[in-house]
Each structure stands twice: as C-alpha cells, then as structure tokens.
C-alpha cells in the first residue's frame, strides 16, 4: 500500500555515488532509504584511484585517515621491453603538498575497500544500505515520487519526495525517465580482474608491451590486499575465459613468462569502453548521479571520483530544499556538474588514446583540484574580481592559529555540513549570526590568525572582504564590506536568514 512520504529521499544503488549521497544526507539528518539490488557488497577493485580532491571530501566526511590506512600509494611502473629488459617510471607526476592543497598524490584503494569504509561511516551515522532490494518502477507527480521496490519483504510501493538514481551505467532510473545517453563506444574491450599470483614483486606496477593493444598487460599490486589487479585489452569479439586457468594462459602469452602463476581469481570482468553523457541530470523530482549520468574509460581514474563528487554537490542542496529553500537551488546541480562530466569524458578519452600509444602519464589534470563552478548561478562577486581566485572556485586550505593559540587549518573550520563565512579586517558584528553558518574573522580582534598570510594570498583578499564558503568547499560569494547587503540577500536565498527572521537551515 502506498504511504504518504515514507521517507524524504530514495537512493537507488549503493555503489560509491549512492553511499556518498547517503553520507551527506545522514549527517544532515535527512530521512532516506538506500537500496541496493545486489545481495552483497560489490567485491571488485575497479575504481582504485582516489584523487586529491576526493581525499579532501573524504576528510570532510571523516573517513580519510581510515581510507589511507586501508590502501596505499601507487608504486612506480616497471615497463618491460620485448628483450626482457625493463625501464622504471612514475605512474603519476608528483607535486609536493602546499598550504592551499594538502593532498597532491592520488591514493590507491581498491573500490571494495573504499565502499567498505563508506558503509562503516554510514553505520556510525545510524544508517545502512538495504541489500537485496531493487527498484522496479516509479512515477512522479508534483508533490513526490511513488516507487515500487522488491526486497526481502516482497513488493512495496513507497512514496518519497525525491528519487536519486545512483544505479550505475545501465541505470534503470535513467531509462525510466527516457533520458538520452549519447556518446560513443570507443572500440576497446578490456579485462579487469583481481587475482592472487606468484612470481612478481609487489613493489612495482608491472607493465608489458605498452603501446600494443594486442599484447598489452598490466599487473598492479593492489594496496591493502595480497592481490594484483590485472588489466589487459582484448579483442572486441569472442568469448573470454576469466577463470584462473584462462587468465594464466593470457598472462603467459602476453608476458612470455612461465614463472607468473595465477592461483585464484576473486573478481573479473570483461567490458567495452564507452564515453557517454546523460542529456539531463534532473527530471522533476528525480536525479541522476555517478555512472548513471556519465560513463567513460577508466584511464585517468576519474569515474569513481566524479561519481562521489556528483553526490557531494547534490547532497547539501537536497537537504536545504527539504528544509524550505526554494527549488531552483536543485537546478544548480545539473548546471554545475554536467559540464564537469563533459570535460572529464574528453580527458579520459584523450588518456585512452595516449595509453594506446604507450604514452600515458597522469598529471595535475586528473587530480580534480582545479574543478570549480565560476559560471554557476550560485557564484557571486561584489564587486567583480579579476584575480587568481574567483567565486565558484575550490576553497583553498591554509594553516591558521586560533585566538586561544591552537594550530589548525581552514579545512578544520569547513568540516561539517555548515556554510563558513570568513572576514578579513572586518567588523565581526556586520553579519548577524544564524543557524547553519559559522563566521570567522582574521585581522584585528579576529578569532583566527592567518599564519604566514596564506588565507589572504590564497583567496586574493583585500581588507574588508568577506568570503562565503559552501558546505561542499567551493567559494559561494566574495563581497566587499560596503556591499554586505548583497551578501545578506545571498544568504537568505540559500536558507540562511538571521536568527528570528525565518531561517530554516
């Protein structure tokens, strides 16, 4: 029987995107159900690269340390030549951490471990995915969505305010909405498999026959496990033997070595590479996040990261609208995230072409630290700026010292579901306090000290400037003191009216 709003949000799919959205909603006390049609968690390593921007998000979600502890760094690559000799190279270009960018090195964490840490955090917040529960139909009207789900208790129809399709590349929700998924099949089919093997050292990423799509093979020691991840392009047509014997034969044929012995396979998949982008991310009360909205080749390690960042963008907006902020805030999700995916599809495809030539190097462009939303309707500057940092950019970190003398970082102030307002040489009282906003000032009588001038420099501030940082760590507004009225308007629009003035955050 249909109930009136059994819960506010139904998240379909408990992969990386669904879990990230669940974490965002759980820490804002939004009611939701997270359903997953598989009976058990996904067991494969597939999206194993955690980019620096996602590390910042994991820090905000309170899981970075445990994810670092569960995984590790990428080892150097060992590229074997045809004559048996080899050359060593770095898989990633390295940069040192800076005060503004504390994480510079992609981590290697098998996807099943990352998702495990996300589920653990979700349990800490009092929630968990419902495994063995499938979305089988839905329809929406002006006030909500009625969804059919089939789970351990049989069939159920539930009424929710919003439905989010976090249900992967073949998205049932995307099909149900009849959203186009244009793009191309890239003419590359590949194997990815998690295997136990003997005969290879674990301190390098072994790469054979780079540049040959017929003979390429990579065997990467999977951090945090005893396994290797095997990756190899295969012919577009024909059966593939993914058993230990089948993969052993492939390894022997491609490496020419008889000493590499595959003992077992814990997960394996043969897949065709595609680059596709959904025409829309939202239809009424239904949204798409993650692979449901975009799929691309794994080169560059962007898929999992982009999926998590979609959810990180949507989560606070859904929570705000459920608390009374007007609906157009939700339109900014597609406005901000779809162009990011379009750019990422181009990057992943470019890296795939480089990989075909044996020339792939992953540099800063895959770190996702330069992603921002300067064109967004949520980005406001008053007066307009032509400086290094503009509204919509990622909010940089910086070392600070509290007025009480303790050392900290700006990211410590940002951590959590609130907005943060930073004022530089301002009157603290100029902006009255309100629920959902934390105000910090630096300069005379500031509650924080700008150690080494890093905040001033990173945010390109002049005395009297206010910087408003969104819950997802992007600059929402930069406003001079004599324009604080416009900042007040902005704050009201996003549900941050002063106490006693109808704030619902």
Ligand X SMILES: Cc1cc2nc3c(=O)[nH]c(=O)nc-3n(C[C@H](O)[C@H](O)[C@H](O)COP(=O)(O)OP(=O)(O)OC[C@H]3O[C@@H](n4cnc5c(N)ncnc54)[C@H](O)[C@@H]3O)c2cc1C
Q: Return residues touching ligand X (CB under 6 A).
A: 12-18, 35-38, 42, 46-49, 111, 134-135, 166-168, 172, 192, 269, 271, 290-292, 298, 301-304, 307
Task: Name the residue nearer to ligand X (CB basis): 271 or 490.
Answer: 271
Supply the minimum distance, in Å, between the C-beta of residue 233 and ligand X.
Answer: 13
Task: Name the residue nearer to ligand X (CB basis): 33 or 454.
Answer: 33
Supply the minimum distance, in Å, between the C-beta of residue 471 and ligand X.
Answer: 21
Supply the minimum distance, in Å, between the C-beta of residue 23 and ligand X.
Answer: 13
- Give dist(CA 215, CA 251) in Å, integer: 10
Task: Name the residue nearer to ligand X (CB basis): 42 or 86.
Answer: 42
The four Cα atoms 268, 272, 273, 274 give a dihedral, to 10 degrees, of -130
E strand intervals along 290-390: 294-295, 380-382
Q: What are phi and psi of 320, to 5 degrees?
A: -65, -45
Beta bridge partners of 89: 77
Helix-then-strand count for the chain, H and E = 11, 27
- Give dist(CA 382, CA 361) in Å, integer: 40
Supply the minimum distance, in Å, between the C-beta of residue 21 and ligand X.
Answer: 9
Task: Name the residue nearer to ligand X (CB basis): 45 or 382.
Answer: 45
Contact present, 435 and 428 (Cβ < 8 Å): no
Supply the minimum distance, in Å, between the C-beta of residue 492 and ligand X.
Answer: 34
User: How far lies 384's CA from each of 380, 477, 493, in Å?
Assistant: 8, 10, 20
- Give dist(CA 149, CA 167) in Å, integer: 14
Task: Name the residue nearer to ligand X (CB basis): 311 or 468.
Answer: 311
Supply the minimum distance, in Å, between the C-beta of residue 303 and ligand X.
Answer: 3
Task: Name the residue nearer to ligand X (CB basis): 132 or 399.
Answer: 132
Supply the minimum distance, in Å, between the C-beta of residue 328 and ligand X.
Answer: 25
Task: Name the residue nearer to ligand X (CB basis): 308 or 491.
Answer: 308
What SS3 state is found at 26?
helix
Token couple for 426: 């301002």
Q: How many residues does the chain have?
A: 505
Supply the minimum distance, in Å, between the C-beta of residue 380 and ligand X.
Answer: 31
- Give dist(CA 466, CA 490) in Å, integer: 13
Task: Name the residue nearer to ligand X (CB basis): 52 or 168.
Answer: 168
- Give dist(CA 466, CA 477) in Å, integer: 8
- Give dist(CA 414, CA 129) in Å, integer: 27
What SS3 state is found at 155?
strand
- Give dist(CA 285, CA 175) in Å, integer: 15
């Amino acid at each position: 029987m249909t109930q009136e709003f059994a819960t506010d949000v139904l998240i379909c799919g408990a992969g990386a995107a669904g879990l990230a959205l669940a974490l965002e909603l759980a820490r804002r006390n939004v009611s939701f159900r997270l359903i997953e049609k598989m009976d058990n968690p996904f067991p494969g390593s597939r999206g194993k690269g955690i980019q620096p921007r996602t590390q910042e998000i994991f820090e905000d979600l309170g899981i970075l340390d445990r994810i670092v502890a569960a995984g590790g760094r990428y080892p150097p690559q060992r590229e074997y030549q045809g004559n048996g000799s080899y050359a060593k190279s770095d898989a990633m270009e390295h940069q040192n951490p800076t005060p503004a960018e504390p994480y510079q090195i992609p981590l290697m964490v098998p996807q099943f471990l990352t998702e495990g840490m996300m589920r653990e955090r979700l349990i800490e917040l009092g929630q968990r995915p419902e495994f063995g529960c499938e979305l089988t139909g839905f329809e929406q009207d002006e006030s909500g969505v009625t969804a059919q789900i089939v789970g351990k208790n049989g069939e159920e129809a539930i009424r929710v305010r919003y439905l989010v399709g976090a249900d992967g590349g073949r998205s049932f929700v995307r099909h149900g909405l009849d959203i186009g998924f244009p793009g191309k099949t890239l003419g590359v089919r590949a194997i990815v498999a998690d295997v136990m093997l003997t005969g290879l050292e674990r301190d390098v990423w072994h790469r054979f026959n780079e540049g040959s799509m017929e003979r390429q093979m990579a065997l990467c020691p999977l951090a945090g496990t005893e396994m290797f991840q095997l990756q190899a392009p295969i012919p577009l047509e024909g059966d593939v033997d993914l058993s230990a014997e089948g993969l052993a034969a492939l390894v022997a044929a491609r490496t020419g070595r008889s000493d590499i012995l595959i003992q077992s396979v814990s997960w394996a998949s043969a897949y065709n590479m595609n680059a596709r982008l959904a025409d829309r991310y939202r239809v009424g009360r239904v949204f798409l996040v993650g692979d449901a909205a975009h799929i691309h080749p794994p080169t560059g390690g962007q898929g999992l990261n982009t999926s998590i960042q979609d959810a990180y963008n949507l989560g606070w907006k859904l929570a705000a609208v459920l608390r009374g902020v007007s609906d157009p805030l939700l339109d900014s999700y597609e406005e901000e995230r779809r162009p990011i995916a379009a750019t990422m599809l181009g990057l992943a495809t470019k890296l795939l072409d480089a990989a075909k030539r044996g020339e792939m190097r992953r540099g800063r462009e895959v770190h996702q630290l330069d992603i921002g939303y300067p064109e967004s309707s949520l980005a406001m500057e008053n007066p307009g700026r032509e400086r290094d940092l503009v509204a919509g950019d990622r909010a940089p970190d910086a070392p600070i010292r509290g007025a009480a003398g303790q050392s900290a970082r700006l990211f410590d102030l940002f951590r959590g579901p609130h907005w943060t307002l930073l004022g530089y040489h301002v009157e603290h009282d100029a902006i009255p306090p309100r629920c959902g906003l934390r105000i910090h000032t630096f300069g005379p009588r500031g509650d924080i000290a700008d150690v080494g001038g890093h905040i001033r420099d990173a945010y390109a501030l002049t005395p009297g400037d206010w910087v408003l940082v969104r819950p997802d760590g992007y600059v929402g507004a930069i406003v001079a003191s004599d324009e604080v009225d416009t900042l007040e308007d902005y704050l009201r629009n996003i549900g941050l009216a002063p106490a006693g003035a109808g704030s619902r955050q």
